[in-house]
Amino acid sequence: KVDLAKKMTASGEDYNKINPKGSVPAIQLDDGQILTEAAVILQYLADQKPESGLAPRLGTMERYRLMEWMNFITSEVHKQFGPLFNPKVTGEWKENQLNLLSSRFDYLTKRLEGKQFLMGDKFSVADAYLFTVLNWSIFLKVDLEKWPTLKEYMGRVAARPGVKETMKAEGLIK
């Protein structure tokens, strides 16, 4: 766990020494290497257990579709939520970010219609990432009422046993 404001880990380490980028997730691998960026970490983890089906096999068109989703979530959804965590953001800037998010939510709604998950009927690391980012709407008081398809999607993902277990471990639910 990291206090991003202080750039300190729960154990008292300087997070900037672990990850000089400072604001993105990092994972230390068994060989000591540090891997950063949520989209990359998620794919790496999925590739460690290919039988999980969390990511299509490398080199397939389905994998490129997954990477397409991961990039969209990173650059078009995650990136728009980020400034909303800054208490110094102006009302005008916040409105701009919410307008950008609104257009992204419209796109996601269209793409999710008739599907259980982003890649179809199978849960993937892209769903784990999108769920995490969309879940910030609760803390940031971003209302998803206008997008019932997204709310239903969030409910489906939240109901998954692994998601419940993870959210409990993170202290996000009881």
User: How many other CB atoms sit within 10 Å of the CB of residue 38?
Assistant: 19
What is the model's pLDDT at position 3? 87
Mapped onto helix, strand or coil, the DSSP state of residue 70 is helix
Q: Would you state the pLDDT for residue 116?
A: 97
Instruction: Give pLDDT tens digits for 39-60.
Output: 999 999 999 999 999 999 999 9
**Residue partners of 137: CB distance under 8 A and separation at least 6:** 81, 143, 144
What pLDDT does residue 20 have? 92
- Strand (E) positions, 5-114? 8-9, 26-28, 34-36
pLDDT of residue 173: 84
Q: How much is the pTM?
A: 0.92
Neighbouring C-alpha atoms within 13 Å toward the C-beta of 170: 10
Cβ proximity of 32 and 19 under 8 Å: no
Residues of the chain scoring pLDDT < 70: none
